Amino acid sequence: MKKKRNTTGIWIVIVAAVALEAISCIMYFASRAAIKNEAAQRAKTELRKAELEIEMHTVDMETAARTLALLVQKNINCPDSVYAATNLAVRTLREHTSMAVAYVADYFPQKGRYFEVCSSRITEDSVYTREIGNVEHDYMEMEWWQNGFVHDSCWWCEPYMDDSGSEAPVVSCSYPVKNKEGQVVAVVCVDMTLDYLQKKLPEYLQVYKNSYYSIKSSKGGDIVRVIDTIPGRKYNVFNEEIDATGWHIEIIIPEDEMFADLNRIGRIVGLLMLLGLGVLIFIIWHAGKSNKLLMETTAQNERMESELQIASTIQMAMLPKVFPPFMDRLDLNIYGIVDPAKEIGGDLYDFYVRHNKLFFCIGDVSGKGVPAALVMAMTRSLFRSITSHEEDPAVIMRKMNKAIVDQNTQNMFLTLFLGVLDCETGALGYCNAGHNAPVIVKGLEDERVSGLEVVPNLPLGIEPEFVFTAQEMQLQHGDTLFLYTDGLTEAENTRHELFGEDRMMHALKDEKMQGLSPRHMVERMKTMVEDYREGADQSDDLTMLVVRYQTPALIMRNDIEQIPTLAEWIEGLGVPEELNMPINLALEEVVSNVMLYAYPHSSGRVIVEHTAPMVFTITDSGIPFDPTKQKEADITLSAEERQIGGLGIHLVRQIMDEVIYERIEDKNVLTLIKHI
């Protein structure tokens, strides 16, 4: 058995070595091809830049040659004017250069057989003009002079040493000067020094540190000579033709320079492969010895996961999980969730009602795992214990902080927001211990969503004698508190971008969020966060708690004298001013009809509830009556012709957008809805 295991290990090493070698070869040659292609692209780009630079300069020189030819033609028989013309032409060029005008033999007898005027730029502001034609400098034997008679346009000659004009190696552009009869009487010559090209082009053509370049004329002459190559060294050559002159530019790149980084990486990869094979051999040897330990560790991990799952179940059981939590209350609508990132989290929320006051909190323990879960459980127990006999948020927070500090053996802390809501008056007292400020969504105002103003205070578990500051505010009917932990705003997507407070506030202000129940608000926000993460792992616990305060319904006897209380109740709801009177009129019509006809022989009650921004429900236990099935009143008839009745429901339909009747448990339920 042992021999078989050793043989298997050897085969694994052999297969791994072959696979690594094959992968390395494929990667090497693929990388080599990619590098060569990239070098070709770079070379082509730089060659085009150099071509453009040379063409710009040659165009300037050709333009100067044509311009000088025109100036000479205007004064074709005035030899002295040539001096000024060449001097002026040289000054128009940007670079240091020379320009000359050379006439045919004996054109000006008084000047002798040779007459060539040359102007050379000495400095930026200085130009030297003189006559250089003589027997020693027989320009009529030169290629540029002869090109002037062969080509009826600008033409570039082969490189040569100009010992009279520019006094340097040059390449010249020539252009003919003709008299009125069309005969060539002189040739304009513009010199470009080879030294200019040698200095100008390296900034374009130095693709690699040790790459070379050269420029050759159309006949193969060296304009910029290539540096001598090393025998036996491989080179890659890239070239481009300059359309304006017919020259060729070449970039010569040593192959070892091009692939230097790849070869260096190849050596490193080779060493890593050997190291990897060594590690693989060690792993195979060690795996045989560690198999039993691995199995024991796996079993232990399974036990730990089972225990963590049990702990998570116990932890979640400590939080409120029945919603809606108060079936007998119309003034509170609450929903909350804790979505831990791991098996055990450190977030919590809790709430309960005592003496018609809602005590609620939300918190986030620093750290993760079992220690955080223990602090969370302790905090929840302290919240329930202390609030059972204390109502001041600052005092509750101070006592919780003292108890947590005394028992904080793990040096952990937590942020906590705690609130006490008087369900009868809507007065909210609250205290914040370093937690994210809740968001308040107003029930009936234009600026509906804003962050709650909070004094941050210190988190719990840091300073035992810290004095916490409590605050107060007044909630109105329909006001909603949105409480959350930083697992919401700090949720990350695959690019490590945060969900953020701005995105959260935008979501709460969205029309799709308006009018949703607390449960649906939480579920919609959770879905948005999950979509934003784009499949990225959840980095922190996500906890949300929504508390909506709703004033009790208006309950009236079937007494028409109670109608004025309806207007006062509607005004207290904060209905928009432009809708106050129409809503009041519609509700008065419905309620007065119920009072007059629903209870003909007995007393009863009429209940008016406001369950959404513009949703009103009128409930009575009187005679069954569906006003929506009544025949529409014909308002086109005169008062004498029209039958009595029907105008009331007609008025309500004109004001409200929807009128819905239901008979539920021996009760008439009429729902009026106004869309805004």
pLDDT, tens digit, 9 for 90 and up, residues 556-602:
778 888 888 788 778 767 678 888 888 899 999 899 888 888 888 78
Sequence-separated (6 or more) residues with CB below 8 Å from residue 613? 443, 444, 478, 514, 515, 676
pTM to 2 decimal places: 0.45
What pLDDT is recorded for position 373? 83
The one-letter code for the residue type at 143 is: E
How far apart (Å, rounded) are the C-alpha atoms in residues 258 and 673? 77
Q: Across all residues in the chain, what is the average pLDDT? A: 81
- Which tens digits make up the pLDDT trace of 502-514? 999 999 988 778 7
Question: What are the backbone dihedrals phi and psi of residue 513, each rounded to the nearest 5 degrees, phi first?
Answer: -85, -25
Whether residue 183 has pLDDT greater than 80: yes
What pLDDT is recorded for position 640? 47
Question: CB-hemisphere CA count at 13 Å for 37?
Answer: 6
**Residue 498 DSSP one-character state:** B
How far apart (Å, rounded) are the C-alpha atoms in residues 586 and 592? 10
Burial label, 536 (beta-carbon count in 10 A; 0-12, 13-18, 19+):
middle
Coil, helix or strand at residue 624:
coil
Read off the pLDDT band of 210 (50, 70, 90).
Answer: low
Tell me the longest C-alpha to C-alpha distance in the chain: 145
How far apart (Å, rounded) are the C-alpha atoms in residues 488 and 192? 70
Q: What percent of the chain shows pLDDT beyond 70?
A: 85
Q: Nearest Cα to 483, choosing from 390, 384, 417, 415?
A: 417
How far apart (Å, rounded) are the C-alpha atoms in residues 27 and 19? 12
Q: Nearest Cα to 421, choosing from 456, 451, 391, 459?
A: 391
How far apart (Å, rounded) are the C-alpha atoms in residues 461 and 346? 14
How far apart (Å, rounded) are the C-alpha atoms in residues 398 and 460? 9
State which H helix or E strand residue 197 sits in. helix 194-200
Least confident of 334-343, 467-476, 569-578: 569-578
Residue 350 β-bridge partners: 361
Whether residue 3 has pLDDT greater than 60: no
Q: Which residues of 631-650 are buried (b: 16+ CB within 10 A; e: fewer)?
A: eebeeeeeeeeeeeebebbe
The predicted model gives 6-31 an average pLDDT of 75
State which H helix or E strand residue 11 sits in. helix 2-74
Least confident of 101-110, 198-207, 260-269, 326-335: 198-207
Query: In terms of pLDDT, which residue wins out, 303 or 27?
Result: 27
Token pair belonging to 311: 């702990």
The predicted model gives 197-217 an average pLDDT of 67
Burial label, 476 (beta-carbon count in 10 A; 0-12, 13-18, 19+):
middle
Whether residue 308 has pLDDT greater than 60: no
Domains, in order of start, for the chain: 41-258 (3.30.450.20), 318-549 (3.60.40.10), 554-673 (3.30.565.10)
Whether residue 290 has pLDDT greater than 80: no
Whether residue 455 has pLDDT greater than 90: yes
- Which tens digits make up the pLDDT trace of 610-660? 877 788 999 998 899 888 887 665 555 444 444 444 577 888 888 899 999
Q: Nearest Cα to 330, choosing from 662, 622, 612, 666?
A: 612
Q: Are 546 and 336 in contact (CB under 8 A)?
A: yes
How far apart (Å, rounded) are the C-alpha atoms in residues 62 and 154? 6
Residue 539: count other Cβ atoms within 10 Å of its Cβ.
Answer: 14
Token pair belonging to 395: 């005092």
Q: Which residues of 205-216 are buried (b: 16+ CB within 10 A; e: fewer)?
A: bebeeebbbbbb
Q: Are 482 and 513 in contact (CB under 8 A)?
A: no
Q: What percent of the chain shows pLDDT beyond 90?
A: 24
Please, where are the H alpha helices in 75-122? 81-92
What pLDDT is recorded for position 134? 86
DSSP strand E in 475-604: where? Answer: 480-484, 542-549, 554-557
Read off the pLDDT band of 232 (50, 70, 90).
Answer: low
Read off the pLDDT band of 446 (50, 70, 90).
Answer: very low
> 219-233, 509-523, 575-589: which has the highest mean pLDDT?
575-589
What pLDDT is recorded for position 641? 45
What pLDDT is recorded for position 234? 76
How far apart (Å, rounded) are the C-alpha atoms in residues 304 and 417? 33
Coil, helix or strand at residue 438:
coil
Read off the pLDDT band of 515 (50, 70, 90).
Answer: low
